[in-house]
Amino acid sequence: MELGTAGAVLAFAIKLEGRSAEFYEEAASLAKDSATKEVFLTLAEAKGRRKKLVEKSRREYVNEMLLEPIEGLDGSDYLVETELSSKTDYSAAWRLGMELEENSRRFYLDAAELFTLPQLARVLRKLGQENADHKLRLQSLDGSAGPGA
């Protein structure tokens, strides 16, 4: 799915944050301990705030840029299947979270390079850095809580 305009890129980002929030809410139910559950719920809340930030940025910065052409960004390169089922275990949810954060980080940093509006590029770079921070948080769960133990 080619993201050919600034509007399409930001619409994708809004959808990405919404799906990420839902994923972390579901993943919290798979947590084996309260600390892990808290991390997942904290990430879900962060994703909700980030969605609002992207929506606000779209309203403030992109009204005349909405149809500005963007080349070289394909949404399918960044998607992660986040559907959890009753058979999904903690390790699988953890791995999906790690992949989600890495792909989101790449998306925001790649998108930031394509925008000519400095304020919007700055917001996207900030979101990409937050994804790196979220991934570190998830890595801290690695020990006795599940994966890699």
CATH code: domain of residue 136 = 1.20.1260.10
DSSP secondary structure string for all residues of 32-83 = SSHHHHHHHHHHHHHHHHHHHHHHHHHHHH-TTTTT-B--S-BGGGT-----
- Which pair of structure tokens corresponds to residue 92? 């699988």
Residue 140 tokens read as: 């801290």
Closest CA to 55 of 11, 1, 96: 11
Query: What is the count of structural domains for the chain?
Result: 1
Nearest to 45 by CA among 77, 21, 12: 21
Sign, CA dihedral 29-26-111-6, equals negative
Which residues constitute the domain of residue 26?
6-67+88-143
- The pLDDT value recorded for residue 61 is 78
**What's the pLDDT band for 146 if we cut at 50, 70, 90?**
very low
Stated pTM of the model:
0.86
- The answer, yes or no, to whether residue 127 has pLDDT greater than 50, is yes
134: nearest Cα among 56, 52, 57, 41: 41
The answer to the question of residue 28 being in a domain is yes
Return all residues near 118 (Cβ < 8 A) that are at least 6 apart.
none
* Domain annotation covers residue 79: no
| 39 in any annotated domain | yes
In a domain, 81, yes or no: no
CA distance 90 to 149: 12
Q: Is the pLDDT of residue 145 over 60?
A: no
For residue 127, give the amino acid letter: L
Find the mean pLDDT for residues 36-53: 96
Report if residue 76 sits inside a domain: no
Residue 46 in domain: yes
Confidence label for 56 from pLDDT (cuts 50, 70 and 90): very high
Q: Say whether pLDDT at 131 is over 80.
A: yes
